[in-house]
Structure formats: C-alpha cells, structure tokens
Structure 1
C-alpha cells in the first residue's frame, strides 16, 4: 500500500476464538466502514495476513494454540501495523505484558464498539503515515531456498517441505527461524544472527526462546511424520541440514 491509498477502507483483522463474539465484532466494524476479516486462531491469521496484509489487528490474548501475545510479538517485528489487544483480564501486570509484546492499545472485554472504532481509526492513520511506498509488512524469504530433493520452503516461506514431499505449516516466528537457517545452506548459524532474523529489536528477546522454538518445530515435524534435521550446535547456534550430510558437533537435546 502507498500513501495514495489513504482514502481507502482500513483493513482490519479480528482474531477471536469465540465464534459468536468474533462475528459480532466483524459485523459492527464493517458497519463502521472498515474492510474486516475474522479468524479463530493464529494459523488462520498468518495465512490470511500473508495473502492480504491487514493494517490493524485486534487480537484476543487467550487463543487456543499460539496466543495473542505471541502474534503481537511477531507482528511488531514485521513492519508498521496497529495492534489492539483484547482480554477479560484488566490487571496492570496484564496491560504491561501486552505492551511489552508489541500491543499499541490494551482493551478490557466486553469491548465498547465506539471506543474500538475510534482506536482503529487512530492506529490506521499512524500506520499509513509510516508506510513507505510499496512496503510489505511480511516480506517473503528468498525463494532461492526452494530446491528439489532437499528440505525447502514454499508458498511464500510459510510451508516447510521435506525431500519426500511432506509439508509443515509454519508460524511467523518459525518461518523467520527456518528461513535464516536455510539461507546458511547447511552451515551453523549463530544464536545472535537467528535472534536478529526473528526480532529486529533484539534487546528484549530472551535467548532461551530459541530452544523453545527449535523443540516446537521438531515436535510438530514428528507429528507430521517428518524427521527434521535441525540441530543445536555446540559453541555456535543452530544448523538445518537440507540434504544428506552429517551434522557438525551438536549439543544433546
């Protein structure tokens, strides 16, 4: 989107796993003049967002699977976007946690639609002012990463495929993690470089999250019938072996 599009309807995505509440919010926001999509979980949001990026996301914290805080962290690292966090919890600690994860605004349920509409308008104006011409909130990893007969990324980097053709859908964080290792073409990548690929502002990134991400990827791959050649490398970082080759000195996992 460039600045000439400023008069078009703001694109909003509502991520809420309560079907009735989600449909109600979507309907009321559409009546307010926004272009709105509603989805139930993180996976559906990421898929919709890469196809048609939204400018403001309204996120429920307590989603099944990946929660709203994780989505907010991923979005904040991806580019200009407005993030409204919604939760039934109203403690100061909850608000602070949401803001630290990248939320612009924290709203306590039940939501007041007039306040939500005004908030989205304000965030949308700010996001459009920050957006450079032809910017893309979620740039795709280089598609040179695709290679027949080896592990590779496809569908804009959102799907990891093994040499046998099995596939694994990735979250935003997993996508950045895997793309960084893919670009190294089988060589070990330092933890610092992997962190920067996930979060441009790495000062508040907990390095222990990398091990959590790696373990989650291995577990998801195993559940999909895939044997993911992802290794923690001693005194280095991580290594993803794309084709048949032995890993270098690895840590026990």
Structure 2
C-alpha cells in the first residue's frame, strides 16, 4: 500500500487485555494497511493516546481496572473518536448498554476480521459525514445529531452528549421552541418509567448541559420557564 493511501487510513488503537487476541487484531489490521497500536488496559491506553492520537478504538468490555464501558463513556465525552466494542456477552441488554455508554458499534466475540474492518469503515464514514454537516452548519442555527448524540453549535463546535443529555435535548426540541414540562422531560429521561424518579435529576442534566454549552457561549439557550419546565430559545434543527 502506498504512503499516500496509508496517510488517509484512520489510526486505530486496540485495547484488549487478552494478549493473543490483541496481537491477532493488531496484525490483521496492520496487514490491511491501518496504522495501529495496542494496549492491555485503560491506564496504558490513556498514556499512549497522549503521544499517539487515533480516530478509532477497538475496545474490550472486560478490561482490568477501568472497564471498557467506562472508557467508552470517557471517549464519548472527548468526542472525535469512534469506539467499536468487543465483548463475549451478546444479549440485547449488553448491546444496548454498550451503545448507550458511547460505543459506535458493538461486536460479539469471536469476531470475524472482515466484519470488524467493515465496521471500522462504516464508523469512519459516519465521522466524515458528521464533519461535513459541521462544515455546512448555518451560522444562526444549532443542530442536534441523533445518530451521533452530538449537539452542533452554530460555529461548528461539537458537544458530545450523554444518554440523559441527549434524551433531554430530544424532548426539548420536539416542542418547536415551546417549553417542555418537567413531567415530559422526566418521561424522556426514564424511558417512560417514572417510578421513584427524583426530579432534581432534571436540574442536574440542565446544569451539565449549560456547562458544556458555556465553551461556545456564556448565554446558554436552555431557559427556565417558571411553573412549566424548560425551553431551548435558539433556532435548532434535528438531523
């Protein structure tokens, strides 16, 4: 493979504590033209990431110390890195949990190498599409990207959202700049099961969102409607 082609290939990290599998994945991906390195734990991964940035992380769920789910959640907060999770657990609940924590893809071991490469390519295409949307964003509009769980600011800044933050924004924007009640927001945050729900959690989500938006503007467009709930006062589209 030419150097020019290699430069355009995404850089990949394989975070897997099982040495044989880690080396096998690294070897296959390297032979396929990817620039790839490995780590046996979250701690080793974070240290190497400081000096060797990547666009894609192949991540084992059952890591020693900090789990793969925790790493995926952290990477979602950072933004800009696609996570493909590997696990021996393949139930629907396990898959949903992995995706909710930030994984772009969830594959069950033993994984077929061709399927892994196809998922890498798909994840990279999604990231390029996101960049294209960011590049064409209206200077007067925010955008909520449903697939990637990202709030895109008018200046192109990408704000990564957690599961609850995305559910909150999705509910808020469905009102077409009308206030969403605290009950509506609670239903969105709990998936419809409000039993035992503490409404202070809504205020915690709002506080975190305002803090994230503060990197773009000091005047966050999430406003409180006294006696009703919250409203997003700026123009925002969902995509």
1:20 alignment counterpart = 20
Residue 61 (1) aligns with residue 61 (2): yes
Q: Distance in 1 between matches of 2:52 and 2:13?
A: 10
Aligned 1:44-123 pairs, distance under 5 A: 44-123=44-123
What TM-score do you get using the length of structure 2 for normalisation?
Answer: 0.53
Q: Distance in 1 between matches of 2:15 and 2:53?
A: 14
Q: Distance in 2 between matches of 1:33 and 1:118?
A: 14
| Gapped regions of structure 1 (runs ≥ 5) | 133-198, 206-253
1:25 CA displacement: 0.6
Give the conservation status (yes or no) of the 8 Å contact 1:26–1:36: yes
Give the conservation status (yes or no) of the 8 Å contact 2:6–2:33: no
Q: Distance in 2 between matches of 1:27 and 1:72?
A: 23
Runs (4+) off by over 3 Å: 4-7, 128-132
Summarize the Cα distance change of 1:64–1:16 in structure 2 as closer, same or farther, 3 Å threshold.
same
Give the conservation status (yes or no) of the 8 Å contact 1:80–1:131: no
Give the conservation status (yes or no) of the 8 Å contact 1:55–1:127: no
Q: Distance in 1 between matches of 2:162 and 2:20?
A: 38
Give the conservation status (yes or no) of the 8 Å contact 1:60–1:87: yes
| SS of equivalent to 2:8 | coil
Q: Distance in 1 between matches of 2:53 and 2:34?
A: 14
Q: Distance in 2 between matches of 1:118 and 1:203?
A: 26
| SS of equivalent to 2:103 | coil
| SS of equivalent to 1:23 | helix
1:204 CA displacement: 2.5
Q: Distance in 1 between matches of 2:50 and 2:125?
A: 21
Summarize the Cα distance change of 1:115–1:201 in structure 2 as closer, same or farther, 3 Å threshold.
same
Give the conservation status (yes or no) of the 8 Å contact 2:12–2:35: yes
1:9 CA displacement: 2.1
Q: Distance in 2 between matches of 1:64 and 1:46?
A: 14
2:40 alignment counterpart = 40
What TM-score do you get using the length of structure 1 for normalisation?
Answer: 0.50
Give the conservation status (yes or no) of the 8 Å contact 1:80–1:130: no
Q: Distance in 1 between matches of 2:79 and 2:5?
A: 18
Q: Distance in 2 between matches of 1:35 and 1:19?
A: 19
Q: Distance in 2 between matches of 1:75 and 1:112?
A: 24
1:20 CA displacement: 0.7
1:202 CA displacement: 5.4
Q: Distance in 2 between matches of 1:29 and 1:202?
A: 30
2:125 alignment counterpart = 125
1:101 CA displacement: 0.0
2:155 alignment counterpart = none
Summarize the Cα distance change of 1:202–1:109 in structure 2 as closer, same or farther, 3 Å threshold.
closer
1:201 alignment counterpart = 161
Summarize the Cα distance change of 1:5–1:114 in structure 2 as closer, same or farther, 3 Å threshold.
closer
